[in-house]
Amino acid sequence: MGQTAAVSAFLWITVVSLAAWCWLLLGQGFFWRTDVRLPGRRDPDAWPSVCVVVPARDEAAVLPVGLPSLLTQDYPGRAEVFLVDDGSTDGTGDLARELSRRHGGLPLTVGSPGEPPAGWTGKLWAVRHGIGLARARDPEYLLLTDADIAHAPDSLRELVAAAGTGGFDVVSQMARLRVASPWERLVVPAFVYFFAQLYPFRWIGGPASRTAAAAGGCVLLRTDMAEKARIPEAIRHAVIDDVALARAVKRSGGRVWLGLADRVDSVRPYPRLRDLWRMVSRSAYAQLRHSPALLLGTVAGLALVYLVPPAAVAVGAAGGSGAVALAGAVAWAVMAGTYAPMLRYYRQPLWLAPLLPFTAFLYLLMTVDSAVQHYRGRGAAWKGRTYARPDAVADEG
């Protein structure tokens, strides 16, 4: 009798998981589709001026790929690059100057902001310094990009054309992350998949939608909107600065577009699990606003949505309950089916799709570890700096 009741209870849990997947499939902005690419665009009559701001802290390993791709942009208008050497100890600033001499192209200015004052995250302090340097040129747009991002030669042209044609104040592309090592193949596509699930790209671009997000590696921002939204001052505490930026723009009445990139790539390697673990746990608990209640809800939700389906297949098979096994198998199949487009986008084999529950379990552990590190006083970190403020994302809401 007890075993029958347990199987019946597990069946109901599995049905709830299946219902959740049916809703995610159809009701969460079709987050699983990967066809949200740079929107339709046409060349403007006169190309606006652009200043590119690159915060860089100890980036000598990736700078030889990322910076030349900016310096050699095929842009018809006036453009200039400002690299902010944020206290590097590996010669980042000198290397940037050498790359500029070697490759030529757009003018390069290398600045240094000094140590950030209390209340600023290091990256945003560097961005503030770069925007301050750029304002002397009075640009119409700012391109905020990272040192590890490699842009196709027409990237800036395409971003500006898309912003002007669509009337967007922010046009952001999620750079294609490196996928080379076994752990990168397992974890990286899921990272983008989960991000899109939280912030469906189709909702972000809707003029009436409150959903806002951007991808910090590639953000084209209209300068007058940056001033209106007080960027970066209004988000100076933010650890997840790209989402905070997009929210600040939308709160100020601006329009935001975010989609997947075709030829904007991150060259930063994450070859080991601990590298990926550090990347995710750095900001996972900040995403939950350092709330224990949200942490518990997230852990329960991940378990229900991602772990219950394969567990139901195993329990149903072991206990002879075809209904439990079938419900679990259908939910698992829907899960794998929604993950397949992201694997194709990353040019990965589709046999990785059924492994998504294992990857989700890793993300669950990373999120819990992020909370543990926070309460141990280690906080979030960026390039060797730790931010232990409990209200580090207070300005993101």
Helix ranges (H only) for the chain are 2-27, 63-71, 92-103, 122-135, 155-166, 182-198, 201-204, 223-228, 241-251, 273-281, 284-287, 292-302, 308-319, 322-345, 356-375
pTM: predicted TM-score of the whole model, two decimal places = 0.93
Question: Which residue in the block uniquely carries the two structure tokens 């679990």?
Answer: 328
Confidence of residue 381 (pLDDT cuts 50, 70, 90): low
What's the whole-number mean pLDDT along residues 109-124?
89
pLDDT at res. 310: 97
pLDDT at res. 395: 33
pLDDT at res. 305: 98
Q: Which of 51-60, 75-84, 112-121, 148-157 is predicted least confidently? A: 112-121
Confidence of residue 129 (pLDDT cuts 50, 70, 90): very high
> Is residue 396 pLDDT above 60, yes or no?
no
Q: Which of 8-17, 28-37, 239-248 is predicted least confidently? A: 8-17
Residue type, 320: G
Q: Which of 28-32, 63-67, 193-197, 387-391 is predicted least confidently? A: 387-391
- The angle that helices 356-375 and 322-345 make with each other, rounded to 10 degrees, is 80
- Cβ-based neighbour number of residue 323 at 10 Å: 14
Alpha carbon 166 to chain centroid, angstroms:
22
> Is residue 60 pLDDT above 60, yes or no?
yes
What's the whole-number mean pLDDT along residues 1-17?
78
- Percent of the chain whose predicted confidence (pLDDT) is above 70: 93
> Is residue 207 pLDDT above 70, yes or no?
yes
Q: Which of 205-209, 243-247, 292-296 is predicted least confidently? A: 205-209
R_g of the chain computed on alpha carbons? 22
For 341-365, write each residue's pLDDT tens digit. Answer: 999 999 999 999 999 999 999 999 9
Confidence of residue 232 (pLDDT cuts 50, 70, 90): very high
pLDDT at res. 250: 96
pLDDT at res. 378: 65
Q: Which of 54-63, 175-184, 214-223, 378-387 is predicted least confidently? A: 378-387
